[in-house]
Amino acid sequence: MKALKIIVTFILSVALISACRDDALSPVPFDEVTTSYGGYVKQIEVVDGVYHLDDLAGSSFKLKVQIYDAKNGANFESLDIYASLEDNSPKNGTINPDEAKVISFPASQFTPDATTGLPSLELVIPATTAISALGITADQVGGSDVFNFRQVLNLKDGHSYTTTNTGLDVLAGPFYSAPFTNGVAVVCPSTIEGTYSVVSSGVDQISGAPHDGITATVTLTHTSPGSTSYDVDDMSAGVFAELYVSYGSPDKVAYVMSEACGKLIIEAGDDGWGDIFSGSGTVNDDGTLTVNWKTNYGDKWTAIYTKN
């Protein structure tokens, strides 16, 4: 019933304001005088979404955007980019610089899109520009740090729009694709592709018996050339095949694992048996991998990967 009330309220609200918007633009209810949705920045394509730790001087964040406003872009004045830093690399010290303005793109740099006619541009934000704006040095930036960029859309009528005064339907809606923010991670070269002999230890959640010697051969393959994510042909490393396949589980759990400068990340998802599978780990100094994975069924396993 609560959901029905929300839906009805939304429909009535859209009907009320639709008379004063340009339907040719989009479903955003633009009212040039009173609306709080006077413009937004649509993300068209992330061309390059990371900074490379081994080449900060040559790294740039590149993002194609289009500007939407109530006058088909004629009210657009400029797009400001602010940055903050999430420091995830304590080995080189811990820093917490204040958010700072990094760069501004005036409307004069934008050109009309061939299809929509709206102001369009590929934003280019060099890592060195962001580092300088935050008042830090390249030596203070480490692998797995994240630069968080916030967009501020400025219109000629004096209004500005960003994450704090734009509605959730625009910020999170897939149609608009306008989150007004981007997280750009600092990544390192990743070379853990290969075939590994794996030994796992943990507890059988059905019988309760402990295990410390389940073995398997597991292959990691780059998801794309030069990427830092890997297709893993069996993330359970033989555990499902030895303990659970007779109960109906798959014998192997294909998954994607990412490396962020020595840290391993397994995104949460379906384990193929109806439970949630997730995990993390490290790339060790001797070249082995330590992977800790779990499921919401209760499995908690540690696997040591040794490259063949």
If DSSP states are collapsed to H, E and C, what string results for 193-244?
CEEEEEEEEEECCCCCCEEEEEEEEEEEEECCCCCCEEEECCCCCCHHHHHH
Q: Which residue has the tokens 């990340």?
A: 265
- In the chain, the number of structural domains is 2
Reference 26, options 170, 172, 181, 179; nearest CA is: 170
Asked if residue 18 belongs to a domain, the reply is: no
Q: Where is pLDDT greater, at 30 or 226? A: 226
Q: Where is pLDDT greater, at 154 or 298? A: 154
Reference 149, options 227, 49, 228; nearest CA is: 49
**Using 50, 70 and 90 to split pLDDT, how confident is the model at 204?**
confident
Q: For residue 284, how many C-alpha atoms fall within 13 Å in the half-sphere facing its CB? A: 11
Residue 18, pLDDT above cutoff 70: no
The phi, psi pair for 151, rounded to 5°, reads -95, 140
- The tokens describing 189, both together, are 């070269």
Same domain, 238 and 216: yes
Residue 107, pLDDT above cutoff 70: yes
Residues 129-135, mean pLDDT to the nearest whole number = 98
Asked if residue 98 belongs to a domain, the reply is: yes
- pTM tops 0.75: no
Q: How far is CA 247 from CA 206, 214, 258, in A?
A: 10, 18, 30
Same domain, 80 and 201: no
Check residue 196 and give left, alpha or beta (phi > 0: left; psi -120 to 50: alpha). Answer: beta
Residue 19 is predicted with a pLDDT of 38
Helices (H), the chain: 2-17, 127-133, 168-172, 239
- Report CA dihedral (158, 160, 166, 171) to the nearest 10 degrees: 140
Residue 8 is predicted with a pLDDT of 35
**Would you say 232 and 250 are in contact if contact means Cβ atoms under 8 Å apart?**
no
Asked if residue 278 belongs to a domain, the reply is: yes
**Residue where a domain terminates, one of 149, 172, 187:** 187
Asked if residue 13 belongs to a domain, the reply is: no
- The tokens describing 303, both together, are 């696997």
Same domain, 160 and 204: no
Edge to edge, what strands does the sheet with 111-112 contain?
39-48, 60-69, 119-126, 111-112
Asked if residue 139 belongs to a domain, the reply is: yes
Query: 293 is in which domain, residue-wise?
Result: 194-307
Q: For residue 290, how many C-alpha atoms fall within 13 Å in the half-sphere facing its CB? A: 8
How far apart are alpha carbons 277 and 252 in whole angstroms? 13
**Residue where a domain terminates, one of 168, 187, 206:** 187
How many helices (H) and strands (E) in the chain? 4, 18
Same domain, 36 and 152: yes
Residue 9 is predicted with a pLDDT of 40
Same domain, 168 and 227: no
DSSP SS3 for 11: helix
The phi, psi pair for 193, rounded to 5°, reads -60, 140
Residue 21, pLDDT above cutoff 70: no
**Would you say 83 and 134 are in contact if contact means Cβ atoms under 8 Å apart?**
yes
Residue 34 is predicted with a pLDDT of 32
DSSP SS3 for 120: strand
Asked if residue 91 belongs to a domain, the reply is: yes
